[in-house]
Structure 1
């Protein structure tokens, strides 16, 4: 904390530790007019952390389930694709045959081939 008297601190600096934790975790800031004991503050902090973990777990479960469904659908499409007969003939096209019976070693051989 700073050396300023407490009445001159900003509202955020005057919060209790639990209120600061709730603010940072994105929950509703709680400002109770009644002073709470440290054990009550700890219980509230633990409850808040458990709620946050439960929320994050639910989000992760949703994402994992969506990925599982996507993979199932992909495997289904691959199975359907494998069952369909090939319409284009052989999988790899035949390469054209080389019309030159032997390897050319000189420019003269190339010119003779061109004639």
Structure 2
């Protein structure tokens, strides 16, 4: 909510956010304390598996601060803009799934399930 109502503490919106999209979000989220409203993270393509997210990211319509952060780092920006190409997106997705499959999963008594993600039990 801070992103659209009080980003810097002066009643402003995140300057990295498209102004029209911010206006739309304010029609959905009535005030800065609204914690129930649901909006699409990938408007226009939320029910499809595709690279549309990178188009809205380029158009400054990322819902989260972390979305906008992808465009502030030169390397991340270059990579995100490459993923506007559907073939590149699906190729990179396939590579990432292969890497995820190579992660050793801990089972039985190995490792621990943390009660709080940021703290070791």
TM-score over 0.5 for the alignment? no
TM-score scaled by structure 1? 0.26
Higher RCO (C-alpha under 8 Å, 6+ residues apart): 2
Return the structure number with greater helix share: 1
Q: Which has the larger radius of gyration?
A: 1
TM-score scaled by structure 2? 0.25
